[in-house]
Amino acid sequence: MAITAQEVNKLRQMTGAGMMDCKKALTEAEGDFDKAVDILRKKGQKVSASRADRETKEGVVVTSVSENGAKGTILSLTCETDFVAKNEEFGAFATTLLNLAVEKGASSVEEILALPFENITVAEKIVEMTGKIGEKIEISHYEVVTAEAVVPYIHSNGKLGVLVGLTNTGGDVEEAGKDVAMQIAAMNPVALDKDGVDASTVEREIEVGKEQARAEGKPEEMLEKIAMGKLNKFYKENTLLSQQFVKDSSKTIAQYLDGVNKGMTVSAFKRISIG
């Protein structure tokens, strides 16, 4: 049967698929739009499966903060090439997924994938997008931060984002939050303070410190003390509140925030980077 240009355009508007793909699907489905949509979805599933082992090192990071400023969410949608990552439709899709996750109260990537999306699930929609774009697409990370005040930051390249949760707030919270978020983006702290450092990391740093001291010819009875000194230096350089403030190295982040408002501090943070 003959398929009109109007029908092809209608299916394209419904699915976002290419003109030729829509025409082929409609022809195969003998003009049945529902069947044509299924055909396009199946094509997407085949493309998705064939690209399952590809790496997604490009993409975008998007953030959202509730109206009262007490809850922030951050999501990364990744793809294979920078060309796709810079596509407006790809960025809009990332924002749509984040908004849906916020609306439905999702707390993990798995929960987002199971959410309904245009009569299918988000997971199925991603398969469709994979078929349409021809690249592997995935939600790589999704995090939620709740605090007295949450401040977001997206780096200029769109591939690095941070959420900062603050307590005992006062003064210019937005500026302070952005300053700290930029610190996190640049310095990539491993934890909020030394109590938040993973035990395996602590053990590794102590062992490295001992080996370094041993290689320097230090006596065995001094190795433990030297290693603990190196561990304290590690804490200062790699935990957020103890780090030197990049805008004023005479202060730590803890001191900077306390200067903005007495007792203000960071209760939580999340950093997502692509690539």
* Residue ranges in the chain assigned as alpha helix (H): 5-15, 19-28, 33-50, 82-85, 88-104, 109-113, 122-133, 173-187, 199-215, 220-238, 253-260
Q: Are 76 and 61 in contact (CB under 8 A)?
A: yes
Amino acid 176: pLDDT: 98
Place of tokens 């903005």: 260
Which residue type sits at 148? E
Q: Are 138 and 126 in contact (CB under 8 A)?
A: yes
Handedness of CA 43, 30, 121, 274 (dihedral sign): positive
Amino acid 21: pLDDT: 86
Residue 144: CB atoms within 10 A of its CB come to 19
Amino acid 9: pLDDT: 86
The pTM assigned to this predicted structure is 0.85
Region of 263 (left: φ > 0; alpha: ψ -120 to 50; beta: rest) is left
pLDDT mean over 236-241: 98
Four-CA torsion 65, 68, 69, 70, nearest 10 degrees: -100
Amino acid 219: pLDDT: 94
* Lowest-pLDDT choice from 28-37, 143-152, 239-248: 28-37
pLDDT mean over 47-64: 89
pLDDT digits (tens, 9 = 90+) for 115-145: 999 999 999 999 989 988 889 999 999 999 9
Amino acid 117: pLDDT: 96
pLDDT digits (tens, 9 = 90+) for 91-109: 999 999 999 999 999 999 9
Residue 89: CB atoms within 10 A of its CB come to 12
Backbone torsions φ then ψ of 69, nearest 5 degrees = 75, 10
Residues 6+ apart with CB under 8 A from 84: 58, 90, 133, 135
Q: Are 45 and 131 in contact (CB under 8 A)?
A: yes
Q: Which of 97, 177, 108, 91 is nearest to 144 (CA)?
A: 108
Place of tokens 């290419």: 18
Residues 6+ apart with CB under 8 A from 158: 60, 61, 85, 91
Amino acid 146: pLDDT: 98
Q: Are 48 and 57 in contact (CB under 8 A)?
A: no
Q: Are 51 and 127 in contact (CB under 8 A)?
A: no
Backbone torsions φ then ψ of 189, nearest 5 degrees = -65, 150
Q: Are 61 and 274 in contact (CB under 8 A)?
A: yes
Amino acid 247: pLDDT: 96
